[in-house]
Amino acid sequence: MKYFLGDNENAIKIQIYCVLIVNLLLAVVKKRLKRSWAFSNLVSFCKIHLFNYINLMRFLENPEKDWIIDKAESEQLVFNL
């Protein structure tokens, strides 16, 4: 956290709690992965791909693998017009 978005006590507490929750969740993800990642790389990857539809655990296990969309996943992405 570089700066606080709010200036009252409640806003600062909420932002601190949010950062602590995110750090905890990323620590759990890092621990579950078989491949070793630096925590800063994991944070920056999640920050970049926050709004992308990817299977995070599968991608972090093998990022060199081509992005192959399963047939079941591709059927969910098709819109019927």
Distance CA 72, CA 32 (A): 25
Q: What is the pLDDT of residue 74?
A: 55
Residue 60 has pLDDT above 60, yes or no: yes
Higher pLDDT, 76 or 25: 25
34-49 pLDDT, tens digit each: 888 888 888 888 888 8
Amino acid making up residue 55 = N
Distance CA 68, CA 73 (A): 10
Q: What is the percent of the chain where pLDDT is above 90?
A: 21
Q: What is the pLDDT of residue 75?
A: 57
Q: What is the percent of the chain where pLDDT is above 70?
A: 74
Residue 71 CA from chain centroid, whole number: 24
Distance CA 24, CA 5 (A): 21
